A and B are shown apart, each in its own frame.
Chain A
């Protein structure tokens, strides 16, 4: 009788190392979406996300033995490999790809004022909001961006994110807090950034 329980990553990896292509296919289907989305949110580019996903699984094919279960989950290991490759892409393309929109004098273009407060088309606003948040995430420095993407968008625990990024849990916590603060700054009108005592009524909100 066929065993219907879902095999663990460790079991699939063991079979894969033994040459079982179906085990590899199962691992690929299990993890490729999350890795692709991680790379997509980190880079803002579908092409980069595709390259990174492919490179990570080619690495798994070549060097599956290098994964050490004692150091964390396979998912965290794959995120770590993807993160390394995304950062390499970002470094390579930093000179060519503007991550944020800037004005003629180099100032950051305010994002929130682009949204009309009384816009009746909620769906359109949500799409626009999604776009603005993605822009704001892309504008974060990579060390904050990767934590925000892993913890807020990919729902990794702090411990998993710490393994993926190779740092302490406390570092994840502090970077996440700082990342949120930077995101809020990005999404806030610049003229409100330095307000000494902003009035709640005067602050623009996009929901």
Chain B
């Protein structure tokens, strides 16, 4: 047996673990003759003694008593849940969107709309200036009367204030301005803030983008939802700040009224 072989069995020798009788005898014989391996054995014995000291020191260590009670409660709760039908309904089964999903949907729709607008403007040979103007103060409901002959629609809820002129695409304008006995009137809610601290008064300028959202988006701003209309799209005007971030939103509904 050489020094390398001793390395492999030195801990077993030190800890008096089971070892083949011949191997033990030959190992001990080598150690008697080799100072280096004798030193190794002494170190290994020291290490083993240290390990036993650690084992003795932590022998009484265990998880705190409160853990058993907590785990037992968890076990009983699970056993009870498995024994009978659960009364807890998963949020996913309620059919309502979480608010963060609605907010994310609003942001995505706004971004897509803005991108589309910019793309159309950049690709159009007759570029029109962006519609930027002062923004009206919030109101609970605004009546918007599309004027058939005009390109711009004026929000008429507060005529004394600086009025917002909204650029409209000609196709949409034609659809809204049906000539004849019937005309479309838009009924709008007040503006709701999408960013904490924002209101119309705090915005010096902005851009309004018309978007369509699922009806359930109404709940994101605390408006009641008609269950039958929850999955139908609703129109909304989103006010973008100068930095392009959606700041405010209002919901718009079109009603058909006879000409006076």
A residues contacting B by CB (< 8 A) are 16, 19, 21, 24-25, 28-29, 32-33, 35-37, 40-41, 49-50, 53-54, 57-58, 61-62, 126-127, 129-130, 132-134, 137, 152-153, 177, 180-181, 183-184, 187-188, 197-200, 203, 205-207
Contacts and interface: CB of A to CB of B under 8 A. Distances in A.
Given A54-B63, A200-B36, A153 B50 contact: no
A200 B38 contact: yes
A36 B61 contact: yes
A198 B47 contact: no
B19 interface: no
B109 to A, nearest CB: 38
A54 B71 contact: yes
B227 interface: no
B82 interface: yes
Nearest to A126: B53
Contacts of A132: 50
B105 interface: no
Contact of A205 (B10, B42, B67, B74): B42
Interface in B2-51: 7-8, 10-11, 35-36, 38-40, 42-47, 49-51
A203 B7 CA distance: 17
B19 to A, nearest CB: 13
Contacts of B58: 37, 40-41
Given A32-B67, A184-B47, A19 B35 contact: no
Contact of B39 (A61, A134, A153, A203): A203
B149 to A, nearest CB: 68
Contacts of A183: 47
Contacts of B55: 153
Nearest to B61: A37
A32 B62 contact: yes
Contacts of B46: 129, 187, 205-207
A53 B65 CA distance: 12
A188 B50 CA distance: 13
Interface-central residue, A37, A40, A49, by most chain B CB under 10 Å: A37
26 contacts: A21-B72, A21-B76, A28-B68, A36-B61, A40-B58, A50-B64, A53-B67, A54-B67, A54-B71, A57-B67, A129-B49, A130-B56, A133-B47, A133-B50, A152-B51, A184-B40, A184-B44, A184-B47, A187-B47, A198-B39, A199-B35, A200-B35, A203-B39, A206-B50, A207-B45, A207-B46
Interface of B: 7-8, 10-11, 35-36, 38-40, 42-47, 49-51, 53-58, 61-64, 67-68, 70-72, 74-76, 78-79, 82-83
B63 A33 contact: yes
A184 B40 CA distance: 9
A153 B79 contact: no
Contacts of B44: 180, 184
B71 A180 contact: no
B36 A40 contact: no
A188 B43 contact: yes
A66 B45 CA distance: 42
Contacts of A129: 46, 49-50, 53
A198 B36 contact: yes
Contacts of B11: 177, 180
Contact of B78 (A35, A37, A61, A152): A61
Given A25-B72, A187-B46, 4 more contacts: A36-B61, A37-B61, A133-B51, A198-B36
B67 A50 contact: yes
Nearest to B15: A152
Considering the complex of A and B, which 4 residue pairs feature the smallest CB-CB distances, nearest first? A133-B50, A33-B62, A130-B53, A200-B39
Most buried by A among B11, B44, B56: B11
A49 B61 CA distance: 10
Contact of A153 (B36, B54, B71): B54
